Amino acid sequence: MSYHVLARKWRPQSFKEMVGQEHVLRPLVNALDNSRLHHAYLFTGTRGVGKTTIARILAKCLNCESGITSSPCNNCSSCKEIFEGRSVDVLEIDAASRTKVEDTRELLENLQYKPARSTFKIYLIDEVHMLSGHSFNALLKTLEEPPPHVKFLLATTDHQKLPATILSRCLQFCLKNMPQDQIMNHLKKVLDAEDITYENAALNYLARAGEGSMRDALSLTDQAISFGSGTILAKDVQILLGTVDRQRILALLQAVVEENPASALELIEQMSEYATDFKLALDDLIALIHAIAISQAVPGIDNQYLEHIDFIDSMAEQLTPDDVQLYYQTSINGKRDLTFAPDLRVGFEMIILRMIAFRPQAVIDEDFQVADLQCDFEQKTAISDDISPEETGSATSNKKTLEVAQEDKPGNRESLSSDWNEIFDKLGLSGIAHSIASHCSISHFIDTSMLLVLDKNHSDLFKDRHLEKIQNKLRLYFKKDISLIIEIGDPSSETPAQKASRIKAAKQRQAQESVSKDQNLKGLIDRFDGKLDPGSIMPLK
């Protein structure tokens, strides 16, 4: 007996067997059950989502010997003939091979004849957008008012190429791409029935590679069965598809975050040894970055990286939203540029190196001051004596800035400061909690009770879990139970973020002044008629 490929063997034979597309099936079932039939139906959507399958089932519903029904019997001669493609009253036409107007006229000449044995004569025209303009014109009048015994079922992957006059004469149904989890569940059902051993991770790869097409996913599953000699394993599917283990993608992003190009390039070398498709690897990386962004915006939400939720939550804490958006934009733009790279690996490596190199440490805020994106306010041990009080604020605040913070020694615990800037520097916070705390100032602190005011302009990401993290760090710092409350408002004193911005802006101005006074540089500018770009000047660390 000849082998039937899964995509054909498991093609649905009734609306009840269909997977997904409920928005299309429901109106069709209701119309059939209530005998409210149209003369022309148009099914649109990408390849492998069920356009032709639904059209064939609809043909059986219309011509089943038990009468017009939404549940054809699949046992009568009419249903069997339609299933086998040999019904004389259901004509399947491939528009791609019959584009000429003469073919359409020949088709229309037979419309007047009634069906040989069925209720309707049905014309199922696949890829109808391939018909020529003259063919559409010839079909137009008949499509609007066909004989009562004729039904048109049209299918296309590109409805935009259809004339508006054709679209207006049909009931249109747009089929959606199949969700990945829906494809995966159907693959499990098929393989269980076929008694094929599989790994869930392998099916996940196959479902994703199907890109919304159930037929493509089933065809790839056939390949995987042959590749694995009757068993579908994740490592075999990775080799077959050129996909990469997600653990490597996680490690790669970790290397980017740690700004470790050597580790990143080593991982890419390992991926290359497995004949990785770097386009797919980049798609995986983009999906991971997207999952982190979603986790930052809506903590706890499900996503396709659910099995790595701990890693995602950790990255969401470590990275600022600015970092995540930068990584996403860099990878998306890099995907567009991959085709111009000497080879895909080179293009992929450059995207990763670009993520590391272009991660900014600071930006200019709306007041034209340097604002630290990472809020990485490390303890300042020294600041140039040349910075005047006028540049850095009041004489008092300047004195505090220039002072070297005392080490947090056990002997100094009775002398712990209540200055939030000093406390903040020693808490060891990270991620979003670090950013939240940097935009706070102390409003009230007596004994074990502390009230912080969070700048309302930086409160979007604040959650209760951030308060808990800050409170835990305070308890460790003061070595006693601290009750913390964070209110949103206008801080009454300088926050750590504002302090860091002020210091950085002063150092930036000092650097610009120092460069502008450099006589050697002035000589070069005059000699070559050059111009100094202030934005290119950065202070020494």
Q: What is the CATH number of the domain that holds 375?
A: 3.30.300.150
Whole-angstrom distance, CA of residue 118 vs CA of residue 151 = 12
Are 18 and 119 found together in one domain? yes
More confident residue, 250 or 522: 250
Instruction: Report whether pLDDT(527) > 80.
Output: no
> What's the pLDDT score for residue 319?
87
Are 502 and 382 found together in one domain? yes
Cα–chain center distance at 143: 41
- Among 179-188, 268-277, 291-300, which range has the highest average pLDDT? 179-188
Domain CATH code at residue 187: 1.10.8.60
For 350-376, what is each residue's pLDDT tens digit?
A: 999 999 888 765 444 444 344 444 444
Q: In this prediction, what percent of the chain has a pLDDT beyond 90?
A: 36
Whole-angstrom distance, CA of residue 168 vs CA of residue 272 = 52
In 10 A of CB 397, how many CB atoms? 16
For tokens 């997600």, name the residue: 246
Are 349 and 367 found together in one domain? no
> What's the pLDDT score for residue 307?
67
> What's the pLDDT score for residue 306?
62
Are 219 and 187 found together in one domain? yes
Are 102 and 140 found together in one domain? yes
How many residues in total does the chain contain? 541
- The answer for residues whose C-beta is within 8 angstroms of residue 168's C-beta and 6 or more apart is none
- Domain count for the chain: 4
Instruction: Report whether pLDDT(404) > 70.
Output: no
1 part of a folded domain? no
Residue type, 268: I
Angle, CA of 331, 334 and 336, to the nearest 5°: 120
Are 59 and 197 found together in one domain? no
For 298-331, what is each residue's pLDDT tens digit?
A: 876 666 666 678 888 888 888 888 889 999 999 9
Q: Is the pTM of this model over 0.75?
A: no
Are 196 and 166 found together in one domain? no
Angle of helix 344-357 versus helix 321-337 axis, rounded to 10: 150
Are 254 and 221 found together in one domain? no
> What's the pLDDT score for residue 305?
61
Comparing C-alpha atoms, which of 267, 281, 270 is closest to residue 208? 281
Comparing C-alpha atoms, which of 185, 237, 176 is closest to residue 206? 237
Q: What is the greatest pairwise CA distance in the chain?
A: 104
- Domain that residue 209 falls in: 180-241
Are 286 and 398 found together in one domain? no
For 26-69, what is each residue's pLDDT tens digit?
A: 999 999 999 899 999 999 998 889 999 999 999 999 999 999 99
For 3-24, what is each residue's pLDDT tens digit?
A: 778 888 889 999 999 988 899 9
Let me know: does 369 contact 415? Beta carbons within 8 Å. Answer: no
Domain CATH code at residue 70: 3.40.50.300
